[in-house]
Every structure is written in structure tokens, then in C-alpha cells.
Structure 1
């Protein structure tokens, strides 16, 4: 039996050595062939990027952006306009030039700068206008609207803006006046009315409106706030609810001054309030709170709806033209800071991207839409488009296919 055991042991050892040799040869050949395998693999080409990155936007010079704004492709013009807006809204010098432009006496210059500001700002960048220079410029622009308005020789001095409670004259006002009121309505709704009162909105514009004869101004103003739901009424309600605003309205005869309580009447009111009980006081407080909250929500909805209607009237051509005006201001600001004449130099795409933001506040963040990764993806997604035209026929709108899916 010993020889049989020896043969079985030798067979097992031989099989083990053969298995180990086989595995070693397989691994060795595999390692030897790896370089040749990697060199001969044909990977599919990666798709080209369908949007421009932030670094690409910052590297574009003003001359290049001006050429893109004149491009025949609608999507390229729109994208260039957005880049100009993103760059201009973060430049303090550009905003100061535009705010100075809306105070000029020339109507066309005021409208050009007002449309540029309307295109530059949104709810995320509105705080850039809530400054001393911004509020002062809008009030001065409204005053220029009053000074440059042509007087109506057939106007009756006894007529007022509230003679007919079913007719709202606001929508027939001049667009320059409506744009200024749009900005002030949004600023007072989002921040406060102290700066508006400080720079004489009541004295320089509101008190000069046709409120009728002096004896009826207070009643007409109260009826206007009761029956109107436009931007003027929204601003006036916030002025009335503010201590400084109410003092200004009382000073110029639009609100009746509050009469101080007499001592006896004050004591009777205190006794009546003390005997009313906690239940009635709580109910009254809840009712006033609900009423105030409802008025606030209605005012916000009215401002948002009016804002959407006004900005929706701006066509694409008007938006592109406003972007060109902003680009001109950008070029002038950069030229003043660099000491060259406007339009000279800056012809290559290798210009420094920081040259267009000279004078900005230190640490000024980018707009909110560029801070969030999801917002940045959506912004880039909306810029994607395919142009299906081989050049044998004129480019039409239906040749451009824009991406509208949410998949990124």
C-alpha cells in the first residue's frame, strides 16, 4: 500500500504545480499585453461642451462682446446680452453712470438708461439700487418727468385723478414715469421708505400731482388709496404707514394731521379699554393682524404683477439695444480707469477679465444665479441651441432648436 500512497501524493503535487504554472503564465501574459491593449483601444469621442463656462465669459473682451451683440444668430445675441448684464451689474462705476443718466433732462437719454437698468436688475440684484445714489436718482428722474411734461391747455384745475373711481389713469402715464415708479415700488416693498422720504419724493413729485383744489386734496388722496391698486397707491400706503412718511404727507396737505387726545377723553378711553377684558383685546389684535397681513400680501401681489407686465413689454430687440448701451458705458468706464480713449485697444480675447470690474466693491459676490450649482446648470442649459442650416438659405427662427428639457 506504500507504493500506492506515494503515487497518489506525486500526482497531487504534479497537478498543483501545473495549476500554479498555468495561473502564473496567464497573469504574466496578461500583464505583458496590457500596454498593447491600452494603446489599441478606440474610445468614442467625448461630446463637445454645449455651453460656455464662467471662465470663458470672463475672458471675453468688450470688442468681442460688441461683435456678438451684432451677430445674426438670435441665441448668440441673447447670450452676449446676458454676459454684458452679469458683468455690468457688479461694477459700481457703471451703475453710477446709468443712475446719472436717468436724471438728465433729455428724454431719450433718460429712457435709454432706464431700460438698461430694467434689464440689468432682478430680485437678486435689486439691493444694488437701494443706495443714496439710487433712490436720489429715481426721485430726480420723476421730477424731470413733471418738469418736461407738456401742460394741457384744456385741463380743468378742479379735476383730480380720482374723479372716476372706475378709471385708473396709471396705465396711460409715460413709460419713463412708470419705470421709475416700478423701481421705487419694489425698493419700498423689499426694504423701507426712509430714503424715499428723505430725498423728497412727496415734495418733488407726489404733491405736484393733480389732487384737485386744496379743500378736497385730503379726501381725493384718501379715495385714491381706497379704490386704486397700482404702484402709486402701493408707495403711498407705505408712506402713510411710516412715521416719517406720514409727517411728509401731512406737511404737503395730503393727509389730515392727527389730533392729540384731550385729557378727559384719554381717561375715558383708558377706562373703556381696561373694562373690555382680555378676550376682546385678543380678538381685536388677531383681526388687525390678519387685516395687515392681507393688505401686505395684496400689495406684494400687485407689485409683482405690475412688474411682470412692464418688463414683459420689452422685446428682444429692445433688450439687445439696452445691452449695447450698457456695453458702451462699460467701455467708457474701463477707458477712464485705464487712461485710454474709448474704443481703443481691447481688441483681443486675451484681455484681462478683471479689467472690466475696476472700481467694484471689494468682495462683491457674483449674482445669486451664479452661486448655486443648480442655478448655474439651469442658466447654461437655457443657452444650449442647435442651428440646422447649411448656409444655402437665409437663417430662420425655425432653424434654431433650443433645449427645453430639465435633464442636465
Structure 2
């Protein structure tokens, strides 16, 4: 084998030197990266984040809530809502809610309505802090305080379930109850939502008609639900729980199971509704006590059946502004033979 020349030895040494140089440089670069990397401790970040949120003042949070950034607004609202539902702030909120001072009560209702109805707070722990007995007790006391304010007429709607004297602030309070009631029905019943509030509520079908019609209230809620959808929803939620049904029947706001089945059978039948003193009340605003169901008279002939069918198919056309008369009633002509 021929010995290597001087140039060959030089190139061999140069290649070996470059190999070790490249490895050394790569090792040094990795060490530099490791030394300059910033390592974060998640536990420390959580402590710093919580401390920063608690340190923010309400004025700062108010400005953040008005920011054009959606994330900043959501974060500010979340911090404000969490502060208002824990500790001393929560106690003050519930105390104002059950207060007889209309100004304090109104502010508390607006705040609580915002907390339970805002979609941005639905995924937070805010609502979970409002499902206990003190919250339901304060809300029931608030609704009971509104009972004495059913004095002035605030609505022109004639309904057997919606009182015309409902105060303006009561609707929001009922909406709050409707939002919180499904979360803890036994706790709401213990707070007196049925025994203290619903039993004293001035439903028109109870005050204007026979007091014995209190047992028909649940059936009227199902029939006239569009007049007061929120109150009907509360009754529906209560009847979804055995304790709710038990209390409604105990306090006479719901009939027995046998009576409900009979009422349902009567509704399914082709029964007629007669209006007492109809000629005197036509064209005027009457009460629901004037409408009473009467049994159908015995149909003894085909002529009477045809006459009744003709009356059921009649139409009433009127331009308004005057009482209804016989000229406004259009009936199908009598077919002879």
C-alpha cells in the first residue's frame, strides 16, 4: 500500500477537525437554548392571576367592560359577577332583594336578573352560587313584598291568570325565579314559593270568581299559558317534581288526579259554553266570572241538531266601536228538505 502524500494527510486532518468542530458547535447551541429558555410555573401563574383579578378596582373593571375587545368585556363581566355572588357582597345583594325599600330592591332585582340571564355568564360558577336556601328565601320575600303593590291597573289584558294590577318590577322578579327554580325545586319549596307566595297571589280567576276555582288554577295555566308564559312555566316546573305537586294540592292550587282526568275528558268532548247575561255585556269589557260552562241541553230532534250546528258555524263581523247586534251575525241559510 502506497504511503499517503503530504496533501492527503492534510485533507484527512482537516476533515476530522471539521467533524469535531460541527459537533461542538451544535452542543454549544443546544446549551444556549436551554439556558435562555423561560420556564413557567403554572401554580405561580394561577396565584398571580387570582391576585391580579382581586386587585382590580371597580372603576377599572367598568372601563374594561366597555372595551371594544370581546375578550376584555367578557373577562371584566366575569370578575364583577363572581365578586357579587360571594362573601359580603352577596349578603348585601340578598338583603337588598328582600328589602321593602323600592329603590334598593329595584337595583338588586336588576343586578340579579343580569346575573341569571346573561349568556356570557352561563358557563361560569355564578349561577351555582345562587341555588341555596338563602337565595330562594330572599327571592320569595321579594315577591311577597310585591303583593301589597297590586293596586294600580298596569295592563288592559283580560285574563284569568294574569292580574291587571301587576307591578312593573314584579315581572323581572318572576323571571329570576323561573330561571333559578329548575336548579333546586325542593329548596325553593322550603323557602315558601308555594306556601307563602302563590297561595296569596291575586290571580283573577280566584279573586273575581268563586274561590273554589282555586283548584282549577293549574288547568287554566295550561289553557291560557300565552297570557302569562313565565308564570305558566313556573307552574309547569313545580308540577315536574313530586314535592311541587304535593304542595300545590295541599294549598288548593291544583285539583286531585281524578278531577284533572274528568276536566280533561270534558274538554275533549263537544261541550258548549254559555255566556250569562250576554246581551248586557256585549260590546263591553266583562270579567271572566261571567263565563260559565253549562251542560248541553238534550237534543230530541234532527231540527234542533241542525239549528245548533248552524249556530256553531255562524260568523260575527263587526267594524268595532259599537255593541254587537243580530245584524253582525252571519249564519248559513237553512236548507229545506
Q: 1:196 to 1:60 in 2, by over 3 A?
A: same
Q: Residue 128 of structure 1: CA displacement?
A: 1.8
1:236 shift after superposition: 1.0
95-104 or 109-118, which deviates more: 109-118
Which residue in the other structure is 1:186 paired with? Answer: 179
Matched with 1:237 is 236
How do residues 190-339 of structure 1 correspond to structure 2 at under 5 angstroms? 190-191=183-184, 193-207=185-199, 208-210=201-203, 211=205, 212-213=208-209, 214-228=211-225, 230-257=229-256
- Deviations, residues 195-253 of structure 1 (Å, cap 9, x unaligned): 22222222332232223321433335412222315221122123334443334323433
Report the CA distance between 1:66 and its aligned residue.
2.5
User: Does the residue aligned with 1:198 lie in a helix, a strand or coil?
Assistant: helix
Relative contact order, higher structure (CA 8 A, sep 6+)? 1
TM-score, normalised via structure 2 length: 0.54
Call closer, same or farther: CA 1:83–1:54 in 2, change over 3 Å.
Answer: farther
Contact 1:160 1:220 in 2 (8 A): no
Separation in structure 2 between the aligned mates of residue 103 and residue 144 of structure 1, nearest angstrom? 8
Higher Cα Rg, which structure: 2
TM-score computed with the length of structure 1 as normaliser = 0.46
**CA positional deviation for 1:142:** 0.7
Report if aligned partners of 2:150, 2:166 keep a CA contact under 8 Å in 1: no
Runs of 4+ with deviation above 6 angstroms:
31-38, 153-156
Q: Residue 118 of structure 1 aligns to a residue in which SS?
A: helix
On the 8 A contact 1:218/1:256 being kept in 2, the answer is yes
- Aligned equivalent of 1:322: none
For residues 77 and 154 of structure 2, what CA distance do their matches in structure 1 show? 45
2:67 to 42, 61, 74: 74
Distance verdict in 2 for CA 1:33–1:136, change over 3 Å: closer
Alpha-carbon spacing, 1:105–1:11, altered in 2? closer, same or farther (3 Å): same
Question: What corresponds to 1:161 in structure 2?
Answer: 159
Change (3 A) 1:197 1:29: closer
Number of residue pairs matched by the alignment: 232
Paired residue secondary structure (2:152): coil
Unaligned runs of 5+ in 1: 1-5, 39-52, 261-408
Q: What's the CA shift string for 1:341-370, capped at 9, x where partnerless?
A: xxxxxxxxxxxxxxxxxxxxxxxxxxxxxx
Deviations 1:56-90 (A, max 9, x none): 5423376742231454863488343332223444x
1: CA distance, partners of 2:24 / 2:245: 89
The SS at the match of 1:74 is: coil
- Partner Cα separation in structure 2 for residue 19 and residue 109 of structure 1: 93
What's 1:102 paired with?
Answer: 97
**Structure 1 residue 139, shift from structure 2 partner:** 0.9
Q: Is the 8 A contact 1:57 1:83 kept in 2?
A: no
Residues in 1 aligned to 2:153 and 2:26: alpha-carbon distance in whole angstroms: 95
Q: Note the C-alpha offset of 1:21.
A: 0.7
Alignment of 1:131-170 (within 5 A): 131-147=132-148, 149-152=149-152, 161-162=159-160
Alpha-carbon displacement from aligned partner over 1:118-175 (angstroms, at most 9, x marks no partner): 344544432322211111111111111212x15138999xx97327xxxx779x9556
